[in-house]
Amino acid sequence: MTTPFDPARQQASTVCLPPGNWATVLDCLCDHFKAIGREQWLDRFARGRVLDAQGQAVAATLAYRPGMRLHYFREVANEKPIPVQETILHADEHLVVADKPHFLPVTPTGEYVEQTLLRRLIRRLDNPHLVPLHRIDRHTAGLVLFSANPETRGAYQRLFPQRRIDKRYQAIAAAMAQHEFPLVHRSRLVHGEPFFRMHEVPGSENSETHACVLEKNGDLWRYGLSPVTGKTHQLRVHMAALGAGICNDPFYPHLVDEQDDYARPLKLLAQSLRFTDPLSGEERYFESRLTLQW
């Protein structure tokens, strides 16, 4: 007998079946997710990896009904291990703070499912309720804050859109003697081509970064970066726009088509987080134990 898995513990994805003329839920899923073969869906059904709204495994022959809500577990065949190790800096009933190494994604995406910070922490802490309160890029290292308790999650989530959390980054890039520091860079960022790259366009500003110089080492400087907004790749795009793309950046200012080189990580670190705890009112400060080497 196949035992249904817990969609919360396994971080299942959810789909609401669209209108159509399919005979079975299998037919609908195959047509809706064209990148996933029919044999792969049949295998998932056979292993109890497709669930109904109540978390019970369903059969591939189940009659299709528009609006039906199904849970399914994203899987990547032969997922490649990422040879880096995260560190848990803090854990209580409400919050978990992790130090994420370079190259490790925060959440499942694309070719990464099990090899993500979220899935690793769920297994280590045995807490299926973990949810990241913010994201940093796969190539970026440093602090990531997680909610550990659904009942208090909203209070911590509101810190970010209300800009009540101070985020400090460090980056190593080429010297920029042409600019006076500290400086503020604002621009309008939109998705470009390929879809995962951002670029600046004319128009009303939707991103803001404060930058200063922390240390000089010949042709390379260590910068302190404080993002006021949280657009995708904001710091990476802004540094490239200022004339000094962050060292080893495979996306900016130019896209480099190459495999991960663990000896050459992106020189960008989410170095500290500071905020007033919305539950206790106490000042909370967390600092990464990772460092950027010249």
The CATH architecture to which 13-72 belongs is Roll (3.10)
The domain limits of the chain are: 13-72, 87-287
Q: pLDDT for 79-132, tens place per residue?
A: 888 999 999 999 999 999 999 999 999 988 777 878 999 989 998 999 989 999
Please tell me the distance from the alpha carbon of residue 140 to that of residue 250, in angstroms, as a whole number.
12
Confidence of residue 77 (pLDDT cuts 50, 70, 90): low
Is pLDDT of 75 > 80?
no
pTM metric for this prediction: 0.79
| Six token digits for residue 57 | 């495994």
Over range 141-166, report the average pLDDT. Answer: 96
Please tell me the distance from the alpha carbon of residue 10 to that of residue 187, in angstroms, as a whole number.
39
**Higher local confidence (pLDDT), 3 or 200:** 200
Q: pLDDT for 188-227, tens place per residue?
A: 999 988 888 999 999 999 999 999 999 999 999 999 999 9
Q: What's the CATH fold of domain 87-287?
A: Pseudouridine synthase (3.30.2350)
Whole-angstrom CA distances from 20 to 28, 38, 164, 222 are 8, 18, 45, 56
